C-alpha cells in the first residue's frame, strides 16, 4: 500500500469517526444542538484525523532518516576508499608525465 493511500485512508477514518461522534451526540439526551454538535464533533474528529496523519508522516520520516543514515555510512566509506586509490594513481601518473628535472643531467646541444 502506498504512502498516499495510507494517508488518505487515515484522513477518511478521521472523517468517519467525526460522523459517528456526530450521530452519537445528536442522539444524546444531553443534547448538543444539531448544528453545534456537527461543528464541534467535526472539529474534534478532524483534529484526531490530522494527528493520525501527522503520526504516520512522522513515523515514515523516522524510517527514512534511518535509511539515509545507513546509506550515508556506506556510500561515504566506499567513496573515500575509491578516492584513496585514485590519489595514488593520479600522483604516479602526474610524475610519469612530468618528471622532475635533473640538474646534473648532461645537457643536449640543440
Partner 1 sequence: MRIVILALLVLSSCASPRSSPIFALTFSDKPPRAAIRGVCNGQTFTTQGTVVCEQKEPTTAQISVKVPPLEGRVIYSNGQLKKTDDFNWYPAQGFWIFKNRPMKDTWADLDLGTIAATFGDWPVSLDIAADDPDVGVIVTRGVLYYRVCDDATVPCSKLETNYDCAGHVNATGPAMIGKCERLAGSPQDLTVFMKGQLYTVQPGAKLYVSIPRQNYESAVDITSADLASGQRDIELPAVLTGPTIVGLRMSWYQSGKIVSVETRILIIGYSPDWTGLDKPHYMLHNQTVDWVKPTFADVMEVDTFNGRDTAGRQYGKDKMRTEPKAGTTGPVCAFAWQRDSSDLSIQCLNYQNQEVSFP
Q: Which residues bind partner 1 (CB under 8 A)?
A: 30, 32, 40, 44, 47-48, 51, 54-55, 57-58, 61-62, 64-66, 68-70, 72-81, 83-88, 90-91, 93-95, 97-105
For the CB of residue 58, give the shortest distance to partner 1 in the complex, in Å: 5
**Residue 45 · residue 19 · CB < 8 Å:** yes
Structure-block grid coordinates of residue 101: 628535472
**Spatial separation of the C-alpha atoms in residues 15 and 26, rounded to whole Å:** 16
**Residue among 68, 67, 71, 91 nearest 79 (CA):** 71
For the CB of residue 48, give the shortest distance to partner 1 in the complex, in Å: 5
For the CB of residue 4, give the shortest distance to partner 1 in the complex, in Å: 15
Nearer CB in complex with partner 1: 9/76:
76
**Spatial separation of the C-alpha atoms in residues 13 and 17, rounded to whole Å:** 6
**CA 27 centroid distance within chain:** 44
Nearer CB in complex with partner 1: 9/79:
79
For the CB of residue 110, give the shortest distance to partner 1 in the complex, in Å: 19
Amino acid at each position: 500500500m502506498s504512502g498516499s493511500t495510507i494517508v488518505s485512508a487515515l484522513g477518511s477514518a478521521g472523517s468517519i469517526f467525526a460522523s459517528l461522534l456526530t450521530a452519537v451526540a445528536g442522539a444524546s439526551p444531553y443534547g448538543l444542538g444539531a448544528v453545534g454538535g456537527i461543528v464541534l464533533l467535526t472539529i474534534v474528529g478532524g483534529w484526531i484525523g490530522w494527528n493520525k496523519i501527522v503520526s504516520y508522516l512522522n513515523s515514515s520520516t523516522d524510517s527514512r532518516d534511518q535509511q539515509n543514515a545507513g546509506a550515508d555510512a556506506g556510500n561515504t566509506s566506499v567513496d573515500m576508499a575509491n578516492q584513496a586509490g585514485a590519489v595514488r594513481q593520479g600522483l604516479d601518473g602526474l610524475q610519469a608525465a612530468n618528471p622532475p628535472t635533473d640538474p646534473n643531467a648532461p645537457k643536449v646541444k640543440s
